[in-house]
Each structure stands twice: as structure tokens, then as C-alpha cells.
Homo-oligomer: A and B are copies of this chain.
Amino acid sequence: MIQFQPNLKSLKSYEAGKPIELVVREFGIDPDRVIKLGSNENPFGCAQTVIEAVRKEATKMSYYPDDSYSELKTALASKFDLTPDRIVPGNGSDQVLDFACRCVLSPGDSILINRITFAMYKIYALQCGAKIHSTETVPHDLNAFLDLAKSIRPKIVFLCTPSNPAGDALSKSEVYEFLRQLSPDTLVVIDAAYMEFANKKDPSKFIPAKEVTDLFPNVFYTGTFSKVYGLGGMRIGYGIGNGELISNIYKMRPPFSVANLSALAATEALKNESHVESYLENNRKEMKRYEKFAVEQNVEFIESYANFITLFARKRGKSSGEICGSLLKQGIILRDLKSYDLNAIRITIGRPEQNDRVLTALEREFN
């Protein structure tokens, strides 16, 4: 019998958001009637210019990607005002998070995460045989992080800001203060998957990748094309670091880690900031409708700096699972946060007409 890594026994796989295909298969609903607001995708899709570029280059699928990813890295370098050698592309930011874990973690090492945070930090760390420590509050409490860091001496601290799946965000000043106090031996991953949304709502929450990695060489900043750029299906993310950190991260990168059409799509997406801007504007406006709904219905929610809002189910009403299940049968996919130990629902802010349907359906569930 093959001996597998002992830590695999207790490892549960990530529970992905439900795809449209599943709703079609299970409930026989016309796919065009399904509203998918469970995975924080861009509800407008990517820019038409991106679609056209991909269609044009589809004849080149047989060629391996240019493994230098120089066009993508140059475009990203321009977005972040730094040199391309500080950027590592990945198969989603997921993959660069994995690089970070494997780069420093050995069995028995510790990581420190927020109580409510993106589930993959824990999974990648467990795959490395690491121990997981977490804070106790739903929003990030950096004082609690500092206290815990002193006693457990984590190899990695993960900050997710804006936080998924809660939606809260840290300010730049509190993050910098935290970084000044933390040991520089600790790798700090700043997962900025939703940073563009925070910047739109409140620039004091914006953490600039160049500045933070210039000031703190122990910071690895990660971003994605899956959210504001509308390319969740194409799997493109990136990490930004400095000096020795980025060169070590690169050693974990397999060749051709991003598909050629994906790298092309991302490069094209960066050229179309007006598509991004109009999505951000819709998100800001439509978010207010959900907040208004929550206030009017006396439903508890977390103020969100991202493209989703988290509503808590009532203690004496239907559970989050019941509400999500009921909406699913109507062809509306939301995310039940039960697996995060929250009796809450995460809703991606959709297009206006999608939100009409969701809010009408939710009103029935909460009353």
C-alpha cells in the first residue's frame, strides 16, 4: 500500500460555488433564466474587446504559451507602476497563494488567518503539513493578529482585504502599522482580490502593491482577473513581491502555468478600463439597494467593500441554508456561508434586473 502524506486524511476539499450547469441538471431550469450571484463574478462579463481578441487568437491554441508571459507582465507592471520582474502570474491567484505556502512551509509550521476568510489558505497550508491558527472575530482584528503572532510565531499571516466572504476591509494605515510591528521574518500575504472595489468606495482602504512591497519586503500581494475584470473562467491571477521573495516564489512556478488565451484575455482586459469603471459604478449603486433592503427589513449585514454583500439569516427565521435552497429552486444561485460557520448568505451584486429578482425573492424568504 502506498503511504500518503498523513495530513491528507483530515483534509477536506474546497466547496466551490454552484455552477449554472448544476441548476440546469438538477431543476431543469432554462440556463438563460439562471441568475448566478454566488461566486462574485462580474455580472456584466468581461469586455467585448476581450472576447474579440480571444476569438481572433483561438487559432493558436496548439502553441504552448510564451513562458515569459512578457506581454501580460508588462501590462500589469504598468497598472502597478513597477517592473515586470516583481510580478509572478498564476493559474488564478489561487495558484500564487499555493506558491507562497509551499515556498516557506514545512510540516509542523504554523500559519495565522482570520476566523472568517478565504478557505484556500487553510487548505494549501494543510497540504504542506502546517498547523492553522485563527483569530476569533468576523472582521479582521489586527491587534488580535499581533498578539497571536507573538505566541505562535507563524511562518505566514494571511490578510484578505477586502475580506471574502465577509466584505470588511482594512485601511492602509492600520495595515502599515501592523506590518511595522510584526516580525519581518513572517511572510504576510495580502490577498487583494477585491481591492479595486475598496478603492472605488473608500480610497483609504486602498493598499498600493508597489508601495507596500517596497516598504515591506516580507509582503506578497496577490490579485486576480476573476473579479473586476470578469475572467473567472480563464484562471488568471498574479502575485507581487520584492527581491528575494519574488525570486523564491518563482522557483515554485511550473512552466506554462497560465493558458495562452487566458494570458491574452488578461492583457486585453487591462486595456479596457472603461468597462471596469462602469462595472464599479453599477456595483456602488446596486450595493445601496441591498443595504436599503437590509435596513428596511431589519436584516443584519456587514458593510461591504467588495462586489458582494453578506446578509445574516434571522435567528428565529429560515436558516441561510433554507433561504439559499429555496432561491436555488427558482434559478437563483447565492452562497450559503454555513460552511464558514455563519448563518449568513453572501450575494454577489448583480446587474439591476438580476437584483430586482433577487430582492423580490429574498423579501419572501425573510418574511
Contacts and interface: CB of A to CB of B under 8 A. Distances in A.
Interface of A: 1-5, 8, 11, 13-14, 16-17, 19-22, 36, 39, 41-46, 50-51, 54-55, 58-68, 70, 91-92, 94-95, 98, 102-104, 106-107, 120, 123-124, 127, 155, 184-187, 218, 226, 230-235, 244-245, 248, 250-262, 265
B94 A16 contact: no
Contacts of A123: 254
Nearest to A67: B16
A62 B46 CA distance: 6
B61 A19 contact: no
Contacts of A107: 106
10 contacts: A2-B244, A21-B66, A41-B64, A60-B233, A61-B230, A63-B232, A98-B254, A102-B127, A235-B258, A259-B261
B63 A120 contact: no
Q: Which residue among A2, A11, A46, A259 has the maximum number of chain B CB atoms within 10 Å of its CB?
A: A2
Most B CB contacts (10 A, CB to CB) among A43, A61, A63 go to A61
Nearest to A264: B233
Contacts of A106: 5, 107
Given A14-B254, A14-B255, 9 more contacts: A2-B104, A2-B184, A17-B64, A19-B67, A62-B230, A62-B232, A94-B255, A232-B256, A259-B259
Contact of A233 (B63, B120, B232, B245): B63
A95 B254 contact: yes
A63 B36 contact: yes
Contact of A94 (B187, B231, B234, B256): B256
Contacts of A42: 62
Most buried by B among A62, A67, A92, A256: A62
Contacts of A259: 91, 233-235, 259, 261-262
B61 A233 contact: yes
Contacts of A64: 16-17, 19, 39, 41, 226, 232-233
Contact of A63 (B4, B41, B262): B41
A361 to B, nearest CB: 21
Contact of A261 (B44, B256, B258, B261): B261
